[in-house]
Structure 1
């Protein structure tokens, strides 16, 4: 019997076209930078598995032969470059999660899971909202668990819809606090620890100011999401994604027979066990950072085994489960293409050898500025570099060796430099379409990038104001120890 695959793991045609146009425009801008900026590079020294820039070693070099037509072949070229493992792993992870989640939707395991949560928290749903936001903020802030939380978004969004809210509320309870927790990091081993180590600061020093900032950001974020949810409750059509949510159909409680619910519960238990193992892997990476390269492959495998097993234990034939998985995985292809376009932006400026040029120009501006102006420039430079380089630790290894001596020169503390670096890195992850995790998370929902941007901009302005205030305080008090 034919079945309808009305999966939430699907990008709408209009949202996809808009995102493609934005990313193509950014690729062209990156290409123009390779034409109009001189090519140059810093000397680098190898430190274990990382390379550090040598301050003061920048030299212009001969422009590489990088024709315009290669700007547009970059999405394909990056699949065959030495650094392609991360990209290919992300795409395979996306395929595995997309297919597995579609299985859970079609066999009603997702319905049962969400229904159980609703039954437990229906009368305390705003408490559930507050706790969920706190958990999604605290894990990146304290332990550096960031990418591993992305699959959990798939469960939070339908739960939010079942509670009478919309998909944006679900993302505001999960995706937003992930990035904001990264920006308001207290002891993140991949951002704070790396930056402080390069700056020769005591590990996790200055936490008192970061804790105050974390609390302030949490309160602002909760109030933002709370106000939106209350508005949607009163007037559902006021939601920017009301039409897209409506196309998914009304969120109704599935009518389980006794036999059916027994089978579906077996599938849910099986899936929960494997997701539990995946969470252990994520926690393991937080404590053993050298195992970070295994996180996405192992999580993808856990979803694959968990999804297929849930289908079989729920009483479905393996062939049908495989068919559902393939359909769900194919729905992710547009999202994978967007990730390839996003990665191309950095690939283009690297190929034109202007990445170090941008950093050199920024360093020159900092050297001539006042202390507070220097902090603002460090914040702004990190924002710009975050557009091209998503990894916080990679940016720290690239930028901190240059920023630290400049900070000493202009009279700002190294701790303030680390603070400005963190603020510039985290919040913008939820704005820049070059961030693959943002694209992955949105591809699991009906929310387009443009609707997401319009909804979050007011909150981003508030976060920028908070950042400026705390950077000003840090400069005034000589935030240290040094």
Structure 2
């Protein structure tokens, strides 16, 4: 058990592919900084946040930002504006990867999966539907996103145990997580912040967003279940078939271990301990999403509870401290390349910020929106948010930057503020599944054998469906004056 190889590691091909893609994006960001003029909006402090002052844009002198600093950006971000997020996210990766390897080598994960498979073997598509709904619901209604990413490490092996592939596992976890966040009903980070700035009643218009949520859930489940059935019939059709073989072989070795009655009792106690730890973690992440003063603690708390759950479970099944440290170190080493990807992903935004063109992009786009018809304006707000999401991953940060400008623009062009919030929400979320500048996407894929290009290839048809759905709902919102205003 203790000598088995950890499945928590980033493959060389997937890592190199991601590095090349992000490096190209860093260069493109640097070139944009050379082409576009520097500019800035004035800002005022609203509570703990800075809010843009609409109509205050002015061009500024271009900063002295040499080309060679494009290459040092992945290091510079460690003391930049996002340094706290990057450090806590890196610690989260280390704690989770190390703890999961401890749980894996101690046999706890295998025991959990075996119990689930035994209970749902004849109803596995019901289990799939339940898991997809749970991920979507928590992301859409409560705004929990980062806190659920670690569960991918459990859902993907579960998919393997049920006869599916790694893509199916991601389709049961990462996909509904991202699409649930995008089809927000009462998500405090997108709907809540945006409606507050737009001076709308909090969570008003939920009925329309609930309809959209249900439609998105239907298409996500249909897409994933249809694919899973195809892979069941012919596993070789999976585009990660070869990569999965090695992972499934490692998992299969773990499943061969037969437990005595006393060992099963130890495992049961370990599972209870880990379940309590994860429950506490989700509660704390939920509290951090509701209390702004705790928002910076979401990553550290999730990592801490994972660490407590993993190490405590290993002790309960009889693993000695020295071995726990060895297993933890093995898992950490396997995922360390993921931290480099995080640094590079954040450097794309850093380069844009250093060139001082973020506000310029927003100003130029708002000028085009102000001259558009209501229908066109709604779609331009959608497109603008999609573009800004490439550089600014945080939903609330984008809301504080964009909504003070979009709110008066909505009044000017004849669309309701509620429609502007809806367009902002659509643009903020769905591209999280596509953009390689999204660090969490790279981390989630890094937990599996799925490379970024293969992820895009697999999800592309569903992304097109979602683009059509969002455009249809956005058009409908314009036509009937989605309100109250």
Query: Structure 1 length as normaliser, TM-score?
Result: 0.98
Aligned partner of residue 369 in structure 1, secondary structure? coil
Kindly provide the CA deviation profile for residues 320-378 of structure 1, in whole angstroms up to 9, marking residues without a partner as x.
11011011011111111001000000000000000000001100110111111111110
Deviates more, 1:302-311 or 1:123-132: 302-311
- The yes-or-no answer on 1:402 pairing with 2:405 is yes
Unaligned regions of 5+ residues in structure 1, if any? none
Aligned partner of residue 50 in structure 2, secondary structure? strand
- State the alpha-carbon separation in 1 of the partners of residues 324 and 173 from structure 2: 28
* Cα distance change, pair 3–115 in 1 and its aligned pair in 2 (3 A): closer
Q: Aligned residue for 2:387?
A: 384
Contact residue 111 and residue 254 of structure 1 kept, 8 A: no
Q: Aligned residue for 1:422?
A: 425
Kindly provide the CA deviation profile for residues 287-342 of structure 1, in whole angstroms up to 9, marking residues without a partner as x.
32431211110111111122112222211210111011011011111111001000
* Cα distance change, pair 398–82 in 1 and its aligned pair in 2 (3 A): closer
Q: CA deviation at 1:118?
A: 0.7
- State the alpha-carbon separation in 1 of the partners of residues 143 and 227 from structure 2: 28
* Cα distance change, pair 379–82 in 1 and its aligned pair in 2 (3 A): closer
Of residues 280, 290, 294 in structure 2, which corresponds to 1:291? 294
Q: CA deviation at 1:255?
A: 2.9
Contact residue 107 and residue 264 of structure 1 kept, 8 A: no
- The yes-or-no answer on 1:476 pairing with 2:479 is yes
Aligned partner of residue 400 in structure 2, secondary structure? helix
Q: Aligned residue for 1:58?
A: 57
- State the alpha-carbon separation in 1 of the partners of residues 63 and 164 from structure 2: 52
Q: CA deviation at 1:249?
A: 3.2
* Cα distance change, pair 249–347 in 1 and its aligned pair in 2 (3 A): same
Of residues 386, 411, 414 in structure 2, which corresponds to 1:411? 414
Unaligned regions of 5+ residues in structure 2, if any? none
- State the alpha-carbon separation in 1 of the partners of residues 405 and 240 from structure 2: 44
Contact residue 27 and residue 345 of structure 1 kept, 8 A: yes
Q: How many pairs are equivalent?
A: 481
Contact residue 308 and residue 322 of structure 1 kept, 8 A: no
Contact residue 100 and residue 310 of structure 2 kept, 8 A: yes
- The yes-or-no answer on 1:445 pairing with 2:448 is yes
Q: CA deviation at 1:412?
A: 0.7
Question: In angstroms, what is the RMSD of aligned CA positions?
Answer: 1.3
Q: CA deviation at 1:96?
A: 0.4
Of residues 247, 253, 256 in structure 2, which corresponds to 1:254? 256
- After superposition, residues 110-121 of structure 1 pair within 5 angstroms as 110-121=109-120
- State the alpha-carbon separation in 2 of the partners of residues 324 and 3 from structure 1: 8
Q: CA deviation at 1:4?
A: 4.3
Q: CA deviation at 1:5?
A: 4.7
Of residues 348, 353, 374 in structure 2, which corresponds to 1:350? 353
Contact residue 265 and residue 314 of structure 1 kept, 8 A: no
Q: Aligned residue for 2:242?
A: 243
Q: CA deviation at 1:83?
A: 3.2
Kindly provide the CA deviation profile for residues 81-136 of structure 1, in whole angstroms up to 9, marking residues without a partner as x.
24311100000110000000011111111100101111111111000011110110
Deviates more, 1:278-287 or 1:8-17: 278-287
- State the alpha-carbon separation in 2 of the partners of residues 208 and 82 from structure 1: 37
- State the alpha-carbon separation in 2 of the partners of residues 84 and 217 from structure 1: 35
